[in-house]
Amino acid sequence: MADFFGDFNNNPYGDTSHDRDGWSQSGQGVPPLILGEEPRREEFFRRYQSIFEGPEPPRNTPPSPPPRPKREKQGRGKSMALLVALCMVLSGLTGFAGGYGASVLLDKGGASNAVTAAPAPQSPAAPLSAVSPSGVNIAQVAAMAAPSVVEVTTESVTRDSFLGNRVIGGAGSGVIVSQDGYIATNYHVIDGANTIKVRLSDGATHTARLVGGDEAADIAVIKIQAEGLPAAVMGDSDSLVVGDFALAIGNPLGELGGTVTNGIISALSRQVTIDGNTMTLLQTNAAINSGNSGGGLFNANGQLIGIVNAKSMGSGIEGLGFAIPINAAKPLIQDLMTVGYVTGRPYLGVNLINIGDAYTAMRYKVQYLGVYVDSVDEGSADQQAGLRAGDCILSADGQQISSGDQLAAIIAQKSVGDTLALQIMRDGLTQDLTATLAEYIPVQ
């Protein structure tokens, strides 16, 4: 470089006109550089810096190898890759913090990674019992009530004019009402039975005897020889309201003992006529079938609120079941347990027959249709009042009588010792009689 400056210093005009490899353009002189003049030297370097930084003039030396590409960017790429890898390792070691840092770096690179934590394993939940829409635990109610309900099977012997004696089986249900073996059921379940069998909820089978029954109330009591039985807890049917929970337990079809169905109280004090006998019953939509008769209807506390006794039958009829309110049944059951019959029943003392068509009138050789006295019990109120077989009862207490059930309903509204004003027709003539009602005592 000293020789180079020296050449310029010895050349006051600088008219070299170098044209080699573009060092300078023809006709552009370089002003002389005078040593010792520092300002001019600095100006010279500023103006002609590109000449000194440009390529050197060719010499008799081997050509220089082409410059290598810079590695600065490559080094940065490796550094970035190492940083991402380090973050990934740290994320595996430090959990959520490392995972979050790695996800930030990846997001900056245009990738997207969502880190989702798996939920911790939980212990399995305890099984839930069936719950009614009203929130009642059905399983708990059934567990309390079911042991008190039994299966009842009967056998009756009938005589057939063609086949002779035949044994007819029947089945129903019952409810244990005392720990020493008294069981309540329906009168129609055991009516005419020669033998009665009871199967408890634990599978034990016993022979039962009839203690007493009341056909008008469709209540009967039977007894087995056993102690320590799970008697039903009596509820209060008078406190029921429509919509209350109801659970029916019985022996549907005579084969499915211990069947539990649930529903609600659909109606209170429903007047239902069964076989000509009008009764005041509870209505429920709990499923009830043949064989449920005599079984229990229970409330949400497992208390007995009714004795199931009927289902409305017919095409397309579902959800119509009925039960005797327990408040009406309790005094009847108590009477049957203690004396064998229902006390305080008013009794007229006659057997009646309905003659409603000409054919029946011809058979009995009567001229008019109506309700006739078929027979009179010895010593009864009717006998004392002067009633006789063949009398036609026209009215009772001023109400025209068209059927025996209608007369029975009038008598049921009275008490023992009340009088009943009767108008009868005998030998084509009408007469007025007054009968004093006595207490009905069945023949034992």
Catalytic positions, please? 188, 218, 293
Q: What whole-number distance in Å separates Cα of residue 392 and Cα of residue 101?
A: 108
Phi and psi (nearest 5°) for 352? Answer: -110, 160
For residue 201, the cross-strand partners are none
> What token pair was written down for 257?
């003992």
Alpha helical stretches, state H, 287-386: 326-338, 358-364, 381-385
Give yes or no for a contact between 394 and 424, defined as CB atoms under 8 angstroms apart: yes
Q: What is the DSSP string of 113-164?
A: ----PPPPP-PPPPPPPPB-TT--BHHHHHHHHGGGEEEEEEEEEEEETTTE
DSSP state of 258: T
Residue 380 and residue 438 in contact, taking contact as beta carbons nearer than 8 Å: yes
Token couple for 402: 């068209």
Question: How is residue 147 written in tokens?
Answer: 């042991």
Q: For tokens 């080699």, name the residue.
A: 20
Burial of residue 321 (number of CB atoms within 10 Å: 0-12, 13-18, 19+): buried
Q: Give the burial class of 153: count Cβ atoms within 10 A of its Cβ; 0-12 exposed, 13-18 middle, 19 or more buried.
A: buried
Report whether 135 contacts 129 (CB < 8 A).
no
Token duo for residue 306: 């009714």
Q: If you search the block for the tokens 């005419």, which residue do you land on? A: 192
Nearest in space to 236 (alpha carbons), one of 244, 224, 227: 244
Measured distance CA(288)–CA(320) in Å, rounded: 8
